[in-house]
């Protein structure tokens, strides 16, 4: 009889600086769950890794006088060493600078664009560089970033968007008919009440204001034609889906 499959992932650690105790706490908790599931007879696929693209990393590397790749190599190596020091039993340590990851992200982006799920637009709002996030005026707290409390500045840039709103009704129906899909219930309620029911917003999936990312002018032009602008694909979220699918194949 084939063992039941169980997919376990941590959040991938952002490599803008040294890992902190929260990162280590997360990997140890995830490792405990993965080991427990293996003892129960599950076929476990446990993955972790690092998120290595973005404006913050580009700026940090410039401050250090090295390339972004050199910068993330140093940080990712330190993170992996700590995970190994803690004797965590991950099956896969993935980096968003891995060649295979970049290849798969480009395939996903091209397929979604061909289906009409990606369109060209512009992102405008108050921008927090440390969080790499746009906010509306109403979302600010005392005029500052609601996440980190730092200063924000007005910004606008051309970008490509994923039509996430197109799938809102399908998501709502699935969650309502499969109440166990998101656990615990408090997180399900948060997702429904804060994101889906008020109206799911389309997701920005590319950036133009910095260079350190997957894509670049040649890739975007080949994918979307001569009128396209040089962009960099927001790639980290694809890791969870892609390896989740891989675990089902084990």
Contact 46, 105 (CB under 8 A): no
Contact 139, 119 (CB under 8 A): no
Contact 127, 134 (CB under 8 A): yes
Task: Return per-residue pLDDT of the chain as tens, 250 residues.
Answer: 577 999 999 999 999 988 889 889 999 999 999 999 999 999 999 999 999 988 889 999 999 999 999 999 999 999 999 999 999 999 999 998 998 888 888 888 888 888 999 888 887 889 888 887 888 888 899 999 999 999 999 988 888 888 999 999 999 999 999 989 999 999 999 999 998 999 998 888 876 666 777 764 434 433 444 344 444 455 555 655 554 444 434 3
- 233: nearest Cα among 92, 74, 101: 101
In whole angstroms, give the CA distance from residue 233 to residue 220: 9
Residue 103 confidence (pLDDT): 85
In whole angstroms, give the CA distance from residue 230 to residue 220: 6
Residue 209 confidence (pLDDT): 67
- 15: nearest Cα among 92, 72, 77, 93: 72
């Amino acid at each position: 009889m084939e063992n039941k499959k169980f997919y376990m992932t941590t959040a991938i650690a952002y490599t803008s600086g040294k890992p902190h105790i929260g990162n280590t706490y997360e990997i140890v908790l995830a490792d405990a769950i993965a080991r427990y599931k293996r003892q129960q007879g599950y076929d476990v696929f446990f993955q972790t890794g690092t998120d290595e693209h973005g404006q913050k990393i580009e700026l940090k590397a410039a401050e250090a006088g090295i390339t972004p790749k050199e910068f993330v190599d140093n940080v990712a190596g330190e993170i992996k060493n700590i995970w190994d020091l803690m004797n965590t039993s991950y099956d896969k340590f993935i980096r968003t600078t891995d060649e295979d990851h970049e290849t798969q992200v480009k395939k996903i982006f091209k397929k979604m664009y061909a289906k009409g799920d990606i369109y060209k637009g512009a992102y405008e709002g108050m921008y927090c560089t440390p969080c790499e996030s746009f906010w509306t005026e109403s979302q600010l707290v005392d005029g500052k970033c609601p996440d980190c409390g730092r200063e924000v500045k007005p910004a606008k840039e051309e970008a490509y968007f994923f039509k996430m709103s197109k799938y809102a009704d399908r998501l709502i129906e699935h969650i309502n008919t499969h109440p166990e899909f998101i656990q615990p219930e408090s997180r399900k309620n948060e997702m429904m009440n804060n994101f889906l029911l008020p109206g799911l917003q389309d997701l920005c999936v590319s950036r133009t204001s910095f260079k350190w990312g997957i894509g670049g002018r040649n890739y975007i032009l080949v994918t979307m034609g001569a009128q396209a602008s040089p962009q960099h694909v927001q790639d980290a979220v694809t890791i969870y889906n892609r390896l989740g699918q891989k675990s089902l194949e084990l």
